[in-house]
């Protein structure tokens, strides 16, 4: 089973790129974040015509939103709101004959890494805390599950272009990395991408639009992740990051991440 995840940064604007991705990479399941569309605005017909008729969408107007499109039948199992906000950041589906999949879009957190001075950063930390508590209460480590999405945190030193310079920059601060580590440890999630791409290798999935030449400066961060619970640890066969997608016409600032699982 091939799982792809991508913060598309507007599904309607970048629909042609999504269809090209499906044709080229042939994932069984594509998870999208930041679709920026209500469910009735989602281009369902275009995805169905491309061979992905099974869909689940949690959207909102102009912001956030997550969606799953699949060649395999899926059944929606959950959509949760955290921090008392209905802002379409979580969607879970069960894949026919396979595991449950959680698609997440963690809040970015603004620019100031101080929860007392920055409500957006406080929201991010609260979201991660509530998510950890929710998984501990509602799921267990013995369940085969996949977690994907834009988690908006680059945890490793090699997940950012400069560990030293980004220590006080939102997405790589110690408090965020600790919060993400606690979430990961809660159910013993395995970082499927780093399971196949060594942790000493620099790896990014996001490059700012502000860069004059993103490829030359290469000031990236690995914000997009795929995790699996312990029962699926042995199933991870391959992982890749489609760096070239950052150079596509009308590109998102994120690129797709793909993981292959052998589910027997």
Q: How many domains does the chain have?
A: 1
SS3 content of the chain, % helix, strand, coil (to 5): 30, 25, 45
Q: Assess whether pLDDT exceeds 90 at residue 203.
A: yes
Q: Assess whether pLDDT exceeds 90 at residue 259.
A: yes
* 252 within 8 A of 24, measured Cβ to Cβ: no
Q: What is the pLDDT of residues 45-69, one digit of tens each?
A: 999 999 999 999 999 999 999 999 9
- As a whole number of angstroms, the distance between CA 98 and CA 113 comes to 39
- As a whole number of angstroms, the distance between CA 242 and CA 193 comes to 12
* 221 within 8 A of 159, measured Cβ to Cβ: yes
DSSP 205: S
Domain with 186, as residue range(s), is 2-261
Phi, psi of 60 (to 5 degrees): -150, 160
Pairing relationship of beta strands 66-70 and 29-33 according to DSSP bridges: antiparallel
Ordered alpha helix ranges (H), 74-150:
119-138
- As a whole number of angstroms, the distance between CA 192 and CA 226 comes to 6
Which pLDDT does position 244 carry in this prediction?
97
- Which three-class secondary structure state does DSSP give residue 168? coil
* 70 within 8 A of 1, measured Cβ to Cβ: no
Which pLDDT does position 264 carry in this prediction?
82
Sheet of 224-228: strands edge to edge? 74-78, 90-95, 100-105, 145-150, 224-228, 190-191
Q: How buried is residue 83: exposed, middle or buried, by Cβ count under 10 Å (0-12/13-18/19+)? A: middle
Q: How buried is residue 153: exposed, middle or buried, by Cβ count under 10 Å (0-12/13-18/19+)? A: buried
- The structure's pTM equals 0.98
CATH number at residue 228: 3.60.10.10
* 129 within 8 A of 139, measured Cβ to Cβ: no
Instruction: Identify the band that residue 80 occupies on the pLDDT scale cut at 50, 70 and 90.
Output: very high
Q: What is the pLDDT of residues 11-49, one digit of tens each?
A: 999 999 999 999 999 999 999 999 999 999 999 999 999
């Amino acid at each position: 089973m091939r799982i792809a995840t991508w913060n598309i940064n507007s599904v309607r604007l970048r629909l042609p790129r999504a269809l090209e991705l499906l044709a080229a990479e042939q994932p069984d399941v594509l998870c999208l974040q930041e679709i920026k569309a209500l469910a009735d605005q989602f281009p369902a017909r275009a995805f169905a015509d491309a061979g992905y008729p099974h869909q689940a969408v949690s959207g909102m107007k102009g912001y956030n939103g997550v969606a799953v499109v699949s060649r395999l039948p899926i059944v929606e199992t959950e959509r949760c709101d955290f921090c008392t906000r209905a802002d379409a950041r979580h969607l879970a589906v069960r894949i026919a004959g396979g595991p449950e999949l959680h698609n997440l879009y963690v809040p970015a957190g603004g620019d100031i890494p101080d929860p007392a001075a920055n409500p957006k950063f406080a929201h991010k930390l609260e979201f991660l805390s509530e998510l950890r508590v929710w998984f501990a209460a509602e799921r267990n480590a013995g369940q085969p599950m996949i977690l994907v999405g834009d988690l908006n945190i680059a945890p490793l030193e090699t997940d950012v272009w400069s560990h030293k310079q980004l220590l006080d920059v939102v997405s790589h601060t110690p408090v965020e990395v600790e919060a993400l580590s606690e979430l990961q440890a809660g159910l013993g999630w395995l970082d499927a991408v780093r399971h196949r791409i060594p942790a000493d290798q620099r790896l990014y999935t996001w490059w700012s639009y502000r860069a004059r030449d993103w490829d030359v400066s290469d000031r990236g961060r690995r914000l997009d992740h795929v995790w699996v619970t312990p029962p699926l640890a042995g199933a991870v066969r391959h992982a890749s990051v489609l760096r070239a997608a950052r150079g596509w016409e009308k590109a998102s600032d994120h690129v797709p991440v793909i993981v292959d699982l052998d589910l027997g």
